[in-house]
Structure 1
């Protein structure tokens, strides 16, 4: 079932976390922040909306990192009900798609709840002080990738955050599969 993210709560502060990464280390929020800000992306392996954008996210994350914006992805789905989202499957997914940013496992789902994440993908763009400035979509992709000339909304928004500390006034909600909560 497709779900849309709520409007951006501008200025809301990023909650801290400590989560295991597929690289074998524990990651804190402070470890992921760049000089100009941070993008926190809630994704998973099996969602068709994530699969439609993952290669673009990898491309865009490299560009954001070059701008001084840290990037981290978090998988909060219940891996018992959805084994394709298990920690081992996350490692294979990251390798297959060339993820060059930390991919973290939120097994307890506490981080997703603290952020108010609702779907995959769900993007939270923070300024250098960790105030929320963007909560929108990557681009116009849905269950299928957008065309090659699609506006790069996430990159444009985070470039604005990096340059001015402010996000765009107009933000279009991300759409994706609901987070698979534990029962």
Structure 2
């Protein structure tokens, strides 16, 4: 009898461990909502406007931040490469324009024109999209993937590992994440620390 009780207890313990352990080491991926924001070309843009897209490179950036100013050429390169593969770049400014007048819509239009942006530059004037994503800095990059009608964050953080010296970049976090997803693989580095100016959220 005691042996039967002991064996039954061992079986129950093993089953419990298997259930508890089934989620061990799995990171819950964040889902983000679609949005519709005004672009510098006057259009209203939503993720649903890209029905053929596999995913997106979303970059929260702005005009005034010294760190953000380093990346427009690299964003152009990312969009030139990955848009054709179904993963376009979309840049969003969520800066408080009361505090930073240089991030006004008119100034955004001028910057996109002067620096020949080949990607949409959207104004998140109510900061709702930045809050939804949890964006903290400029630039703060996200790679999101379409899964069963949902938009799931697969990577967030820095664009690469050297803002000041692009020729010395050794880790292209965003590009690597997109390459892995296009190959059907799990993203090896799903999160890094974004380096840049803080996005000040209005209260």
For Structure 1 versus Structure 2, the TM-score category normalised by the shorter chain is 0.7 to 0.9
- The alpha-carbon deviation at position 131 of structure 1 amounts to 1.3
> Alignment partner for residue 141 of structure 2, among 113, 116, 123?
123
User: Is residue 2:116 matched to residue 1:95?
Assistant: no
Whether contact under 8 Å (2:162, 2:168) holds in the other structure is no
Contact kept, 8 Å, 1:120 with 1:178, in 2: the verdict is yes
1:177 paired with 2:203, answer no
Once the two structures are superposed, residues 126-156 of structure 1 have per-residue CA deviations (whole angstroms, 9 ceiling, x without a partner) of 12322111113211124x2333554322111
Equivalent of 1:112 in 104, 124, 130: 130
Q: How many Å separate the matches in 2 of 1:161 and 1:98?
A: 28
In 1, Cα distance between equivalents of 2:194 and 2:101: 24
Partner of 1:158: 178
Aligned residues: 174
Distance of 1:166 and 1:149 partners within structure 2: 22
- Within 2, Cα distance between the matches of 1:166 and 1:34? 21
User: Unmatched 5+ residue regions in structure 1?
Assistant: 1-8
* Structure 2 residue ranges without an equivalent (≥5): 1-26
SS at match of 1:164: coil
Task: Please tell me whether the aligned partners of residues 120 and 177 of structure 1 are also in contact (alpha carbons under 8 angstroms).
Answer: yes
User: Residue 45 of structure 1 is aligned with which of 63, 68, 71?
Assistant: 63
The aligned runs of 1:18-37 (5 Å cut-off) are: 18-32=36-50, 34-37=52-55
Q: CA RMSD in A?
A: 2.0
SS in 2 for 1:91: helix
| Deviation for aligned residue 1:32 | 4.4
Higher relative contact order (CA 8 A, sep 6+): 1
Residues 15-72 of structure 1: per-residue CA shift (max 9 Å, x gap): 1211111111111221246532111110101111111122112111211112210221
Report which of the two structures shows the higher radius of gyration computed on alpha carbons. Answer: 2
Q: Secondary structure at the match of 1:147?
A: helix
Q: 1:97 to 1:150 in 2, by over 3 A?
A: farther
TM-score by length of 1: 0.85
Q: State how far apart, in whole Å, the 1-side matches of 2:134 and 2:166 are.
A: 26
Between Structure 1 and Structure 2, which shows a larger proportion of helix residues?
2
Comparing 144-153 with 70-79, which one deviates more in the overlay? 144-153
2:21 aligns with none
